[in-house]
Amino acid sequence: MALNRPAPTLDTASTTTHGAHLSRSLGVGGNVLITLSGISPASSVFILGGAALAGYGTGVFWGFLLAGVISILIAVCYAELASRHPIAGGDYSLVSRVLGPAAGAAVFFIGLVSLPLIVAIFALGVADYLGVAIAGLDPLATALIVIALAVVTACFNIRTNAWVTGAFLFVEMAALALLALLGFVHVERPITDLLDPQALDAATGGLAPLGIAGLVLAVTQGIFSYNGYGGAVYFAEETKDARRAIAKAVLWSAGITVLAELVPLTAILMGADSLEDLFGAALPVESFLSANAGEAVSVVVLVAIALAIVNAIIAIALQSGRLLFAAARDRALPAAIARPLAVVSARTKMPVAATIVMGVLALAACFIPFDVLLNATGSTLAFSYGFIALAAFVVRRRGATDAAASADRDATAVASARTGGYRMPLWPLPPAIALLSIGAIFVIGILDPAQWLSLGIAFGIVGAGFAYYALYLRRSPAALHLLHGDDDEEFSA
């Protein structure tokens, strides 16, 4: 079905919005501040890094180093895709416009389910860290209050959120700098000792070589710990000169995250008095901090980690609101639901209704058993990255086809749209290597019975997305933006 709409003005794509009126007021720095806040490197080091130290020992060094390489490869995929399609909505918007609406619906379902659940997981952990300063906090009540406050904050204008999250981010980066300093000024072993992966043997209490399977799991933990740099894409329509700036924001966020997590973890491994005691501790990072900085400093840092978690919840609330807003604006939802969710506040220029709805889902998720939350989010990341890498693998061929098809309409405008954006080096190697790495993660997961429930839930979510496309979107003439959107669609008003 042909669409009758005026030809878009492509040469102003980097300074206009996609149909709605989000406030294009962020620079690269503001975008990076919000994106890094959603990643929360400090809480990743204390929670995920600590769990990795306990499970994989010195294998964390190689695991997080290799995970950093894979994360940078995926980041360049995000950067090129976002440079071509600088639209709010994150993975959903990128995948639907490159791989089509069926894959886009699957990715939308991943985000719709996983983002509120991740917020709930973070919020339920806040009391554990605030408890060192405020005794007797109830985890559920604390989580509900934190989410409510975070959603209210996320409804303020985007520049206010950049300042708020930036202030919190400064505190958590200071905590990571302290960890690195404590490790490097008290070096107990050279970095070469970390090149031979060893983990704690529960039977003997000593160190034993870490096998390949353990090392792959350490890589997987690292990838999950670094996750979130693609969040910069959610704010594409609120970032100035988006075609260039979003690619920079993604790459800066990925690079800073890898360094901010790998450096302190390496410092801990080099500076710990005893690796056996470190790996055997219930909370390895907290144990190292207490032993080297004292109890008083540890309390201050743990409170800072609680603030970092709150900061991450605000940032993820911002992202999840834009996911739902983008899908509503694309008419990928029934009209009665989409109409209010696609509204942008005239005062704050924010998708308030969509943000509140996702916040309500996060509040409801707090009542789900914690182990179910973990299993429901554990394997969805691999699917998301797989879709992004596949899209980056095919985007240039499709881009060339679209450009040729559009040349007879406006050759000058098409050329303008195709220049000035980011093009990854050595294409197609980055997406190809990323796809192979993600495939290896799936194979390891299938071979590990402990991962079957998580994988099964992830397959179910993706399958539900494809079913939604087949049963509703494909049959819905109202879903014009998603079903018939070509490469010009993101530039139309």
* Mean pLDDT of the 245-265 span: 97
- pLDDT by residue (tens digit) across 392-410? 999 887 655 554 444 444 4
Q: Is the pLDDT of residue 244 over 80?
A: yes
pLDDT value, residue 399: 55
Token pair for 162: 């950049």
Amino acid at 293: A
**Neighbouring residues of 130: CB distance < 8 A, sequence distance ≥ 6:** 137, 142, 303, 306
User: Helix (H, G, I), strand (E, B), or coil: what is residue 208?
Assistant: strand
pLDDT of residue 414: 42
pLDDT digits (tens, 9 = 90+) for 414-467: 443 444 588 999 999 999 999 998 998 888 888 888 888 989 999 999 999 999
Answer yes or no: is pLDDT of 3 > 60. no
Return the pLDDT at 450: 83
What's the pLDDT at 379?
86
CA distance 361 to 367: 11
Please count the residues of the chain: 493
- Strand (E) or helix (H) holding 207: strand 207-209
pTM attached to this predicted model: 0.88
